[in-house]
Chains A and B, each alone.
Chain A
């Protein structure tokens, strides 16, 4: 009998390794500098930059997979487009692309998305995937001070079967990167603290600039980025092009840094 490929270690060791490492990280991130809700391109981009600046960032993602819609360009076709100058971010990430027409670039969705996820991980972002945002923690003056979360499957099942209380994470700043749902802002709206109007019709040629320009702090302690911006401010949606998601994430990070430095 030849030599075994893998070293020893039983089931109990594997389970212990998972539990202890998960618990250690989870406990560490019960308190952080910034929690980003949504691991789509804008959330990943914001997280990557904030971590590169030395902040402790935790991204909450309700799906098992990270990347949001960045895997697929639109209509189930896995080519993603960005318009200039967002190709510079693809350059930074090391994503190959071609110029489809003047200043419009097309890249492979899986390649672009995996590189962005890897860049966020390399920068030090930690993730809680399969974790759903449930509510906000509000402090004096209704300042956002954290998030309440639960496991995604818990929320997916009927309440009588899964009556599981959520847990809360404290942070200095929350970024809503939940796309058109704008889930975090919606919780403020439920409490009458903000009023959004819903996103406008698609207008690719114009909406990208508006999304980036409107990216910012929407309520004390809460920055909004990506397509959530469109929902909050009623600006046109942009369809299958991702440049504004990347640049909006970058801008959200810059604004977050300013807020955190001030605080």
Chain B
């Protein structure tokens, strides 16, 4: 990988996830270890922060709510399906934009549309390459997959800003094949959960915290190099499609960046590699 890469001076981390689910301070400390020269700002939920900062008027709030409602994926097997959202759908978005309550999960949003909506909210002074904005959300994001002709749930959508979904970690990468086989054969869901729990990340799983760190690195590498992923299954930048791959890349003992990516980080950070473990 060639080129002059620049580490962002400021990393803006937005945590819109229940604090019980993700410990923000720990994530900041992790980023600090990898990007010691960057200022890392921990902010509240992305929409709360920017709506408060720009003092959003009723009209803008409504238009934002409408755009969010319009970015819902209604049919995962249809590439493009758009319709005028129902007033109730707009009200639903509006209600959560206007409050501090964490939005319930279950609606699938088109990841790139949401990215554009978020990008439009950024103030010009922060809409520069010197800022890397990373949004942590519990909402489900998906993108269309040309190979499978359906919308797939994603853990992260890299862009400006990048978004990482905690529910995406759970629902995105596939669980072990035997798990689905057991489901098909109507095995008791609780026994299935128990039997396969070590092999996938579920709701309320404390391992989520560590997994998210790898996706933070992916968002940063996207910002720095334009490519968030690595083909090495042992690198934290590996784009896992299976839960077991994700657990291997992110949670095995000594999980870290591969040599290639570690060197890039050393070059851009002027730091020795032991810090990047």
Contacts and interface: CB of A to CB of B under 8 A. Distances in A.
Contacts of B106: 200, 203, 206-207, 209-210, 235-236
Task: Across the A-B interface, give the 9 residue pairs with the lowest CB-CB distance, nearest first.
Answer: A209-B104, A206-B106, A197-B74, A210-B106, A206-B105, A234-B74, A236-B106, A216-B88, A210-B104
Nearest to A211: B106
B88 A218 contact: yes
B82 to A, nearest CB: 11
Given A217-B88, A233-B89, A233-B92, 5 more contacts: A195-B84, A209-B104, A209-B105, A209-B106, A213-B104
Contact of A205 (B74, B88, B203): B203
Interface of A: 194-197, 200, 203, 205-207, 209-210, 213-214, 216-218, 224, 232-236
Interface hub of B72, B86, B89, B92 (most chain A Cβ within 10 A)? B86
Nearest to B104: A209
Nearest to A215: B88
Q: Which DSSP category, helix, strand, loop or mixed, fits chain B's interface?
A: loop
Interface string B92-124: 100100000000111100000000000000000
Given A210-B106, A210-B107, A197 B75 contact: yes
Given A197-B75, A205-B203, A213-B95, A233 B88 contact: yes
A232 B86 contact: yes
Interface in B132-151: none
Contacts of A194: 86
A233 B95 contact: no
B86 A218 contact: yes
Contacts of B74: 197, 234
A205 B106 CA distance: 9
A214 B203 contact: no
Contacts of B105: 206, 209
A197 B203 CA distance: 28
B91 interface: yes
B83 interface: yes
A236 B153 CA distance: 15
Interface residues of B, number: 17
Contact of A206 (B84, B92, B104): B104
A196 B74 CA distance: 10
B88 A234 contact: no
A196 B107 CA distance: 15
25 contacts: A194-B86, A195-B86, A196-B86, A197-B74, A200-B106, A206-B104, A206-B105, A207-B106, A209-B104, A209-B105, A209-B106, A210-B107, A213-B92, A213-B95, A216-B91, A217-B87, A217-B88, A232-B86, A232-B88, A233-B89, A233-B92, A234-B72, A234-B74, A235-B106, A236-B106
A195 B203 contact: no
Interface hub of A200, A207, A209 (most chain B Cβ within 10 A)? A200
A224 B89 CA distance: 13
Contacts of B84: 195
Interface string B58-75: 000000000000001011
A218 B89 CA distance: 9
A232 to B, nearest CB: 7
Nearest to B103: A213
A196 B87 CA distance: 12
Interface hub of B95, B106, B203 (most chain A Cβ within 10 A)? B106
A239 to B, nearest CB: 11
A235 B87 CA distance: 15
A161 to B, nearest CB: 39
